[in-house]
Amino acid sequence: MSDTEVLLAQTAQPVVLPAQTAQPEVLPAQAAQPVVIGSLSPSRASDFKTCPLLYRFRSIDRIPEAPSPAATRGTIVHAVLQRLFDLPASARTPAAARAMIAPAWQQLLAEQAELASLFADDPAGDQLAAWLQSADGLVDNYFQLEDPTRLEPESREELVEVIVDGLRLRGYIDRVDVTAAGDLRVVDYKTGSLPREAFEAKALFQMKFYALVLWRLRGVVPRQLKLIYLADCDTLTYTPEAVELERFEATLQAIWSAISRATARAEFRPNPSRLCDWCDHHSRCPAFGGTPPPFPTEAVAESGADRRESASTSEQAAKIGDVHADQ
Ligand code: SF4
């Protein structure tokens, strides 16, 4: 049974928002602009949870981070899997997908010239060839996990955004599928390894974030959250519930309150963990004997729109890929 068939077979009545939460219809001229106190993306919220100082370096100081082959490969594979669905269903073959890899790399290189540094020490092109071949493997694995000829996504790489109690929640969703019954499935591709148990909750944090945003936008709780781990050729699925997303929303509000307090005090503490191994900021982190730059007092602690807005975030995330794949 295909994923879509499974989803259809599991279909129950959509979960809808309680009637009392429905917004009264307001004429455009009467509609007041909501006051926005800040914004969060899954990556930025996760940064703060992982290490407040890391959040500061990325979201307030906006310090660039070095590109990595793993993250760049993840970006390319995401682009290929997005464009695959531009083709007619019958043309969505492994060969067609592999043929998109090199052009996607060239396009990315044209957009981000600094990526040329990844293979600056490879005049013969051997490393580049091996790297592109590894992307072939990830794309091939995708076809072991899904049959794209039987899928017609509702959206791909969609920026979703909603304001909840003044907090703007935004992020890019790799793919949204909708069944004939109207059930939503949120799909995210990971090019890193399947996270070990301790990191599974972190991966689901991102998916719950998307589920919450879609629920608040559409009034329907997504039926399934699906993480596709291309390196491991495995998937992880999860069925969220409304009450759980309500708690998650409260968690995000609490994270934002903590960010606001830290910003007011200009105090973002390091939180050393094993993830430090993948952090670019040792030289300015007190946990490693470094000194942070002066706090930019004019800064507003505002999160961006996830990895596509900040290449550096994507880079760091994929460097963490072995233990917490963000792509
Ligand atoms: S090295 Fe570790 S403690 Fe320091 S900023 Fe990076 S993640 Fe935080």
What is the spatial distance between Cα 303 and Cα 259, in angstroms, rounded to a whole number? 10
Confidence (pLDDT) at 31: 59
Confidence (pLDDT) at 299: 61
Ligand 1 binding pocket includes 269 (Cβ within 6 Å): no
Confidence (pLDDT) at 325: 33
Query: Hey, which of 59, 279, 324 would you mutate to test ligand 1's pocket, going by the most ligand atoms within 8 Å of its Cβ?
Result: 279
Ligand 1 binding pocket includes 285 (Cβ within 6 Å): yes
- Enter the pTM of the model: 0.81
Taking CA atoms only, the protein residue closest to ligand 1 atom 7 is 276
Query: Hey, which of 281, 284, 313 would you mutate to test ligand 1's pocket, going by the most ligand atoms within 8 Å of its Cβ?
Result: 281
The pLDDT profile of the chain, 327 residues, written as one tens digit per residue, is 444 443 433 433 333 333 444 444 555 555 567 788 899 999 999 999 999 999 999 999 999 998 889 999 999 999 999 999 999 999 999 999 999 999 999 999 999 999 999 998 888 889 999 999 999 999 999 999 999 999 999 999 999 999 999 999 999 999 999 988 889 999 999 987 655 565 677 788 999 999 999 999 999 999 999 999 999 899 999 999 999 999 999 999 999 999 999 999 999 999 999 889 889 999 999 999 999 999 997 765 444 444 444 433 333 333 333 233 333
Residues 6+ apart with CB under 8 A from 107: 79
Task: Kindly write down the DSSP assignment for every residue of 178-222, as one continuous string.
Answer: E-TT--EEEEEEE-SPPPPHHHHHHHHHHHHHHHHHHHHHHSB--
For the chain, the residue count is: 327
Residue reference for tokens 């914004």 = 39
Closest CA to 308 of 66, 42, 128: 42
Taking CA atoms only, the protein residue closest to ligand 1 atom 5 is 54
Confidence (pLDDT) at 150: 95
Please tell me the distance between residue 49's alpha carbon and the centre of ligand 1 in angstroms.
12
Please tell me the distance between residue 59's alpha carbon and the centre of ligand 1 in angstroms.
14
What is the spatial distance between Cα 298 and Cα 48, in angstroms, rounded to a whole number? 20
For the chain, the structural domain boundaries read: 69-117+127-149
**Residues 168/306, Cβ–Cβ less than 8 Å:** no
Ligand 1 binding pocket includes 190 (Cβ within 6 Å): no
DSSP state of 51: -
Please tell me the distance between residue 47's alpha carbon and the centre of ligand 1 in angstroms.
10
